[in-house]
């Protein structure tokens, strides 16, 4: 097993104390540093170059490390960089420590600034506005790419020209899609406005990619039934809910026991996209399957409680406000993960819901086996739900409410997925 050099180990421990890291967390921070140094040694990266940290984060993501673990790893490696910066500064001759702005040492300070506070502020600002964890991951990711592009330029020196150059680089050199360009733009806009407290100025001067109109892929009822028949439990039931209730994949997996009202046949979606709540009819044909799944959840919950279970993961401040909520049955996931997740900071074992990638892989495999010539994904079942309701002459406003769209113009895209119901239906001249 790779071991941290003794000199770095001693220095790192002193820096952890300087940063007021509790002693019980020192082993976790040392573990991340050991992983990072071993990673750089294995892939021949310079461990002192901050630009290589993005490669390490990508490796953590491939290993399915949680967001909390990634943040802890980032903090640990940032502290390690401080050691290297201090070593570089101490090695410089005394008469070179106060050089002009054009000197190499000044350039080092300008280009290798510490962005730890920036990422901390991004996290705080997003949590303050109750944005979703996915938004946090996305915005942090683009901020990290921006940091790498500017070579860790001092955040106070960042300007609108840096943003323009970065967006141009994404479009010309990286050739990223228009949606990725716009996502990067929104992330940097958030960074400047809420973290750096700077305004973009004339937003129209910044290049923006124009997204082409997109017509959703829609499956027929026969194709949907064929795919479901090839899915194992509980993936088949998840897909039935995606199609039967028009849910997003994240909404389906975030369902808890309390979301189901079998007496009224109503499913309540809490904290959907945009933190909006809505209700949708619960398909009667699924009631028996859903109750069987509920029995499985009851059995698993009782087994967890017997084994010293700390509860289901709860978000926002619910866990602090209601101390026992995590262990209470109504708060349990309706589609729980198969194994418990260990939280190093609190030293607890908690249960999460099924991971999205597991469902996506199952759907992809079923679509391939069904030999369907359409590019179908989990979201395709939501598109099919809306299109089939529209085909059954449901009012567009009703469909908007069921989908949870803020603007009816978003729902109107489904008018392009079904044939016109008017007398003057558009026809090809070849059919005249």
379 among known catalytic residues:
yes
**What does DSSP assign to residue 21?**
-
414 among known catalytic residues:
yes
CA separation, residue 69 to residues 74, 76, 95, 313, 369 (Å): 9, 11, 42, 15, 37
In this structure, the number of other CB atoms found within 10 A of the CB of residue 163 comes to 21
130 among known catalytic residues:
no
H/E run at residue 409: helix 408-411
Catalytic annotation, pick one of 26, 349, 358, 379: 379
Catalytic annotation, pick one of 50, 256, 382, 383: 382
Catalytic annotation, pick one of 226, 273, 327, 358: 273
34 among known catalytic residues:
no
Contact between 108 and 96 under an 8 Å Cβ cutoff? The reply is no
In DSSP terms, 312 is beta-bridged to 351
Burial class (CB in 10 A: 0-12, 13-18, 19+), 172: exposed
> Tokens in use for 294?
């509920």
416 among known catalytic residues:
no
Contact between 238 and 244 under an 8 Å Cβ cutoff? The reply is no
H/E run at residue 396: helix 396-403
375 among known catalytic residues:
no
Catalytic annotation, pick one of 11, 145, 153, 248: 248
Residue 47 region by backbone torsions, left for phi larger than 0, else alpha for psi between -120 and 50, else beta: alpha
Catalytic positions:
248, 273, 379, 382, 405, 414
């Amino acid at each position: 097993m790779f071991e941290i050099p003794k000199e770095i180990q001693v220095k790192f421990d002193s820096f952890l104390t300087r940063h007021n890291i509790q002693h019980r967390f020192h082993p976790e921070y040392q573990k991340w540093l050991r992983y990072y140094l071993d990673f750089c040694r294995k892939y021949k990266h310079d461990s002192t170059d901050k630009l290589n940290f993005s490669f390490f984060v990508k490796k953590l993501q491939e290993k399915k490390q949680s967001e909390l673990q990634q943040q802890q790893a980032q903090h640990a490696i940032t502290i390690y960089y401080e050691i290297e910066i201090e070593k570089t500064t101490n090695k410089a001759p005394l008469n070179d420590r106060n050089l002009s702005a054009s000197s190499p040492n000044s350039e080092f300070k300008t280009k290798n600034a510490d962005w730890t506070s920036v990422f901390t502020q991004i996290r705080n600002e997003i949590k303050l506005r109750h944005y979703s964890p996915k938004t946090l991951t996305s915005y942090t990711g683009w901020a990290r790419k921006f940091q790498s592009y500017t070579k860790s330029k001092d955040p106070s020196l960042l300007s609108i020209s840096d943003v323009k150059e970065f967006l141009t680089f994404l479009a010309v050199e990286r050739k990223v899609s228009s949606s990725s360009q716009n996502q990067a733009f929104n992330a940097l806009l958030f960074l400047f406005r809420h973290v750096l407290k700077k305004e973009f100025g004339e937003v129209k001067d910044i290049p923006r990619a124009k997204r082409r109109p997109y017509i959703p892929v829609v499956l027929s009822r026969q194709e949907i039934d064929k795919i479901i028949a090839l899915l194992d439990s509980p993936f088949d039931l998840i897909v039935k809910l995606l199609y039967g209730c028009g849910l997003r994949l994240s909404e389906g997996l975030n369902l808890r026991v309390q979301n189901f009202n079998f007496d009224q046949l109503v499913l309540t979606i809490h904290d959907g996209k945009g933190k909006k709540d809505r209700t949708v009819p619960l398909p009667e044909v699924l009631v028996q399957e859903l109750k069987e799944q509920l029995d499985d959840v009851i059995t698993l919950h009782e087994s967890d409680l017997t084994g010293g279970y700390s509860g289901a993961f709860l978000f926002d401040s619910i866990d602090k406000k209601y101390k026992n909520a995590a262990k209470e049955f109504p708060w349990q996931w309706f589609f729980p993960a198969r194994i418990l997740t260990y939280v190093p900071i609190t030293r607890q074992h908690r249960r999460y819901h099924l991971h999205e990638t597991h469902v996506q892989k199952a759907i992809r495999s079923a679509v391939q086996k069904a030999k369907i010539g359409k590019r179908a994904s989990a979201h395709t079942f939501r598109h099919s739900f809306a299109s089939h309701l529209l085909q059954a002459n449901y009012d567009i406003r009703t469909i908007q409410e069921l989908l949870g769209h803020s603007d009816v113009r978003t729902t109107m895209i489904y008018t392009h997925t079904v044939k016109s119901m008017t007398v003057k239906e558009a026809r090809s001249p070849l059919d005249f």
